[in-house]
Amino acid sequence: MDKEAVQEPTDGRIRRGDRTRRTVLARAVDIASVEGLDGLSIGRLAGELGISKSGLIGHFGSKEELQLSTIRAARAIFATTVIEPAMRSTAGLARVRALLDAWLDYSSDRRFPGGCFFARAMHEYAARPGAVRDALAVVDDEWLGLIATSIEEAQAAGEIDPSVDAAQLAFDLDSYLDSANLRSLLGRTDVYERAARSMRDRLESVTTVPA
């Protein structure tokens, strides 16, 4: 049999499978940001997207694997939306501010319809040990670690007081973000401006250079 004739159908199936998976996960992250990861089911997604249930089982196998895949998809979107643009800023205070501003835009622009995907999922799974909670904890550690590392770079550049505990400052700044995201879902319209002001004041209290 012609090798190319075998290769083309195989490649076509792989491409179709990849498209199906992307379509499913795009819908899954939107649902989970509003209804939580427990709102996901293979049956529901198959019905909404007009895909066979057996086909989706072939892609994900179980509800937990669907949830884990959804977390990975949301992480990739977050990286593209928040982290990658901010990392183009100069290392140091400019990058710290860029990360925080990008996060506020990500939440307020409703990149996910339910606000921050991870805030919703972490509230849902924080007290439920298992693979899903572990995956969410890794994402949270990565985010706080990135802010703390950026603060340390600002300290090394002489922009932030070197006596400041970078991990504590990162925790404080992230708390403003979480507060704004949660209260925005309750219909408050001024919370992002308040969070931006709080973060600006907190950073100005530890910076060694003019704003």
**Per-residue model confidence (pLDDT) at position 61:** 83
Residues pairing with 211 in the sheet: none
Helices (H), 36-83: 42-49, 53-60, 63-78
DSSP, residue by residue, 143-167: HHHHHHHHHHHHHHTTSB-TTS-HH
**Average pLDDT over every residue of 119-127:** 96
**Average pLDDT over every residue of 145-156:** 98
Cβ atoms within 10 Å of 207's Cβ, excluding its own: 17
Is the pLDDT score of 13 beyond 80?
no
**Per-residue model confidence (pLDDT) at position 6:** 47
pLDDT tens, 32-59?
999 999 999 888 998 988 888 887 888 8
Of the candidates 197, 206, 130, which has an alpha carbon nearest to the alpha carbon of residue 168? Answer: 206
Q: Which of 48-52, 66-70, 179-183, 204-208 has the lowest mean pLDDT?
A: 48-52
Helices (H), 79-130: 84-87, 93-108, 117-125
Q: How confident is the model at residue 114 (pLDDT cuts 50, 70, 90)?
A: very high
CA-CA distances (angstroms) from residue 71 to 46, 53, 66? 19, 21, 9
Q: How confident is the model at residue 2 (pLDDT cuts 50, 70, 90)?
A: low
Is the pLDDT score of 25 beyond 50?
yes
- For residues 19-48, one letter each, b for 16 or more C-beta atoms within 10 angstroms of the residue's C-beta and e for the rest, the string is ebeeebbebbbbbbbeebbeebebebbbee
Fill in the DSSP letter of residue 82. Answer: I
**Per-residue model confidence (pLDDT) at position 24:** 92
CA–CA distance, 141 with 136 (Å, rounded to integer): 9
**Per-residue model confidence (pLDDT) at position 56:** 82
Is the pLDDT score of 67 beyond 50?
yes
pLDDT tens, 77-111?
999 999 999 999 999 999 999 999 999 999 999 99
Is the pLDDT score of 149 beyond 70?
yes
pLDDT tens, 181-196?
999 999 999 999 999 9
Q: Which domains does the chain have, with CATH numbers?
A: 3-204 (1.10.357.10)
Helix (H, G, I), strand (E, B) or coil at 207: strand
